[in-house]
Each structure stands twice: as C-alpha cells, then as structure tokens.
C-alpha cells in the first residue's frame, strides 16, 4: 500500500519490489494506492500492468457501511483523531484481502495503514519510512511520531529505511534505541542491454535539446522543490560557467519551484547555457547524456539518481546529506562535498571536468561499485528476510 504510483523514489522501489517479488513467485500479490485518478499518480502503473499485478485505489468512506466494520469496531475508528479516521478505509481493504504481509510505504500510509493492519490482525506489518523523519517536510502531521511509537510496540511490526543515515534520523526523532530500524538498501535492475541502449542514445538526446555532442555537460534529475535546492544548483552552475564558459548544464524535473528556476536560468550569466527539460519518463536517457551528475539536496534518504548515474558510468558529485554518501565510493566513483558552499562545490566540479582520465576510470569503477551494492537481487533477498517465513521459500 502506498499513496500513489507517481514519479518518486519510494514509488519506484515499491513497484520494483512488487515486480521482482512477482517473478520470484510471491502470490497472491496486490498493490493498493490511496490516490490513483490523476495521470501523474499513475506514472509507474504500466510496469505493474505489464506483468499482471492487480492495482486498486482505496475506497473512501468504506468505514460507514463496510462489510467488515462491526458495530464494536465502528466507535473505535470514530474515536481516532479526525485526520486518522480514514484508517477505516485501509481496514476495509485489509479485511477483504487478508494478507500475510502488509508492506506500507511512506509516513501517512504507514500510520493509517499500520493501525488498520493491527486491527485486521495482519501477521507481518512492514513500514517503509522515507528519507528523513516527517518533521523535516511540509507533510508532517502531529499524530505521526506517537503513531510510530505505538506501532513499534505491536507484534509483527517492522520499520525499514533505505539508508543508515535515514534509520538513525528516525530513531533519534522517535527516541528509540539505535538499531531498532532495519536498513534495506534500494535495489536496481542493472540490465546491461537497457543501460547500453541509453548510453548509445547519448548524442541523440543532446541533439533533441540543442546541445552539442562535443561540449562537457553537467546535469541532474531532481524534483524542483525546496529540499532538492535547485536554485543552489543553478548558482553552482553559474560559478562553473565563469571558470569554464564552454560547459553546458541540463536539469530534468519539475515541481513547485519551476517558475523560480526558470527565472534564474534566464538571467544573463546563465541564459542559453542551461536546458530545463521538465519531467523525463526515461530519466536514464537524460543521465546518460551527461559527463558529470551533480546533486545539491538539503535532505535525502538514499538518492536513487546517484545510483542510476553511476550504473551508467557517469561520475557523481553530491552534498553530504542523508544516505547520499552511502551511494558513492568517495574519490573513486564520485565525490562527496565537505561543504555545500557555492564556491567549493563549483571548484570541485571544475577540477573533475578538467580531469578526463579520472572521469573515464571513475565511470568504470562506478558501475562495478553500484552493481555490487545495490543489485535488485540483494534487495529482494533482504526484503524476503524481513517478510519472514511467509515468502522465505521464494528467494
């Protein structure tokens, strides 16, 4: 169960887990989304439909007359805080499906679905937390902290995070012992044929966006939101451009800072050197066109894009936030910045752009590094271990 199938990292991992598990024989298997009506909320739906995994949307107000909501249970859900009362909708689905494992993703779904799963008697309840605790984001709700603390006391409940840094941050926020949250690194399907196809399309991708095949290209794929700091990214680009006027820049993604990003890119010091390409359904194509990938986030869990870039043989530079440093072999496959100051970041970008021998070797080392650490098979093995005996025979 997850909020949507929109173009996010957690959504991608939920779908990859479901598809990978389906191929391993996890049956029956179903995904339920809280919202699925808008086009962007169905971004990953085709991948599930391609293998025949059923996908449904949470029914609203099922608590009021649902088949499984007994007279004794109705007052219990109604006594929850108003913002939690739709946990009854999750309960209705869970009672209908009677799963051996309920794997939930992201904070709101974790709390509401977790309460419902406990009420429904689901034997194993897996809560996949986000990059950092919810109080770091605008989606934070007052019930979340105590909701997690209560759920952790219930039999069969397990919390997961995709980085050591993210797990420690949640543990500190919840004031629970270190090691209470298990770490399962994200998995990636490093299909050599797919990777090679994107590498082969490097020149064609550049041509579509008016970028010469010969110029050095620094780029990123990010949501244009505050925690990703796209405006900081552009300031670093401007500083790099002052030192290396022939370098070009590419930013793929969209979000609520789109207009501010566009305005900054249109300023005199960046006009004509930054390509803003919006959402890319095939983000690997954009990444493969780069010479260097730069991430400037303020908050991260385990950034999927850093792993994907290295899988394509593109060296990365990243701010040292969340689990970002866990995705990079510093100095070998990429670079983790000591500080997120514009001058220092730009200087490091310039140094790596001026060292083609290092970039070539880093690309080879990067692919090997992430293939060993973030392979989808390893992720599915670890997830199966968390699920327990329910799927233990399907590794």
What value does the mean pLDDT take over residues 365-378?
Answer: 93
Q: Using CA atoms in the order 159, 165, 168, 172, what is the torsion angle rounded to 10 degrees?
A: -120
The per-residue pLDDT for 304 is 87
Which of 129-133, 260-264, 388-392 has maximum average pLDDT?
260-264
The reported pTM is: 0.77
Contact 132, 322 (CB under 8 A): yes
Q: 389, exposed or middle or buried, with CB in 10 Å at 0-12, 13-18, 19+?
A: exposed
Neighbouring CB atoms inside 10 A of 115's CB total 24
State the pLDDT confidence band at 137, using cuts at 50, 70 and 90: confident
Average pLDDT of 198-210? 96
Average confidence (pLDDT) over 80-97: 89
Kind and range of the H or E run holding 31: strand 31-33
- Is the pLDDT higher at 190 or at 55? 55
Question: According to the model, what pLDDT value does residue 81 have?
Answer: 84
pLDDT of 69 higher than 80 = no
Q: Give pLDDT tens digits for 164-182.
A: 999 999 999 999 999 999 9
pLDDT digits (tens, 9 = 90+) for 96-111: 999 999 999 999 999 9
Q: Are 162 and 187 in contact (CB under 8 A)?
A: no
Mean pLDDT score of the chain: 92
Compute the distance between CA of residue 117 and CA of residue 138 in angstroms, rounded to an integer: 26
CATH number of 9-187+376-394: 3.40.50.2000
Q: 76 pLDDT exceeds 80?
A: no
Q: Measured in whole angstroms, how far is the alpha carbon of residue 339 from the centre of its chain?
A: 23
Measuring CA to CA, which residue among 301, 298, 297, 277 is closest to residue 287? 277
Residue 370 is predicted with a pLDDT of 95
The pLDDT score that the predictor gives to residue 73 is 67
Spatial contact of 44 and 13, defined as CB atoms under 8 Å apart: no
Is pLDDT above 60 for 245?
Answer: yes
Bridge partners of 249, per DSSP, are 218, 274
pLDDT for residue 45 is more than 50? yes
pLDDT tens digits for range 260-316: 999 999 999 999 999 999 988 889 999 999 999 999 999 887 888 999 999 999 999
Cite the residue boundaries of each domain of the chain with CATH code 3.40.50.2000. 9-187+376-394, 192-373
Residue 393, pLDDT score: 45
192-373 homologous superfamily: Glycogen Phosphorylase B; (3.40.50.2000)
User: What is the Rg, in whole angstroms, of the alpha carbon atoms belonging to the chain?
Assistant: 22
Helix residue ranges, H only, the chain = 9-24, 45-51, 74-78, 87-97, 107-120, 143-151, 164-174, 192-200, 202-208, 230-243, 258-265, 283-288, 304-311, 342-353, 356-373, 376-387
pLDDT over 60 at 18, yes or no: yes
Closest of 45, 32, 44 to residue 3, by C-alpha = 32
**Percentage of residues in the chain with pLDDT exceeding 90?**
82
Helix (H, G, I), strand (E, B) or coil at 386: helix
2-6, 17-21, 188-192: the lowest-pLDDT one: 188-192
Is the previous residue joined to 28 through a cis bond, with omega within 30 degrees of 0? yes
The terminus-to-terminus CA distance of the chain in angstroms comes to: 22
Question: Does the pLDDT value for residue 64 go beyond 50?
Answer: no
**pLDDT above 80: residue 122:** yes
**How many whole angstroms separate alpha carbon 321 and alpha carbon 339?**
10
pLDDT of res. 395: 43
8 A C-beta contact, residue 24 and residue 50: no
């Amino acid at each position: 169960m997850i909020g949507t199938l929109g173009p996010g990292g957690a959504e991608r991992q939920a779908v990859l887990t479901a598809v990978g598990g389906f191929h391993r024989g996890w049956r029956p298997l179903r995904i339920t989304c809280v919202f699925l009506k808008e086009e962007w909320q169905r971004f990953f739906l085709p991948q599930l439909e391609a293998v025949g995994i059923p996908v449904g949307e949470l029914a609203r107000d099922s608590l009021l007359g649902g088949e499984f909501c007994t007279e004794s249970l109705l007052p219990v859900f109604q006594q929850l805080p108003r913002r939690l009362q739709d946990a009854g909708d999750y309960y209705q689905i869970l009672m209908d499906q009677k799963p051996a494992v309920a794997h939930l993703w992201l904070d709101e779904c974790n709390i509401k679905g977790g309460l419902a799963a406990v009420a429904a008697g689901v034997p194993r309840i897996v809560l996949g937390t986000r990059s950092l605790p919810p109080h770091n984001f605008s989606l934070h709700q007052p019930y979340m902290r105590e909701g997690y603390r209560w759920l952790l006391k219930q039999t069969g409940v397990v919390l997961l995070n995709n980085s050591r840094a993210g797990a420690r941050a949640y543990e500190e926020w919840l004031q629970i012992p270190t090691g209470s949250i298990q770490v399962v690194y994200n998995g990636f399907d490093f299909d050599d044929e797919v990777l090679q196809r994107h590498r082969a399309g490097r020149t064609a991708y550049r041509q579509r966006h008016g970028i010469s095949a010969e110029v050095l290209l620094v780029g990123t794929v990010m949501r244009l939101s505050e925690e990703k700091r796209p405006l900081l990214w552009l300031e670093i680009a401007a500083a790099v451009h002052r030192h290396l006027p022939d370098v070009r820049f590419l930013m793929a993604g969209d979000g609520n800072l789109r207009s501010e990003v566009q305005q900054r890119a249109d300023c005199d010091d960046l006009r004509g050197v930054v390509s803003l390409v919006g959402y890319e359904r095939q983000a690997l194509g954009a990444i493969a066109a780069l010479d260097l990938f730069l991430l400037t986030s303020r908050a991260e869990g385990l950034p999927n894009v850093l792993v994907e870039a290295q899988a394509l043989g593109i060296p990365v530079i990243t701010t040292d936030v969340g689990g970002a440093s866990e995705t990079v072999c510093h100095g070998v496959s990429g670079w983790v910045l000591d500080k997120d100051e514009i001058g220092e970041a730009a200087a490091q970008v310039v140094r790596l752009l001026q060292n083609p021998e290092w970039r070539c070797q880093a690309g080879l080392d990067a692919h090997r590094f992430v293939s060993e650490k973030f392979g989808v098979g390893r992720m599915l093995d670890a997830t199966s271990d968390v699920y327990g005996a329910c799927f233990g025979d399907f590794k």
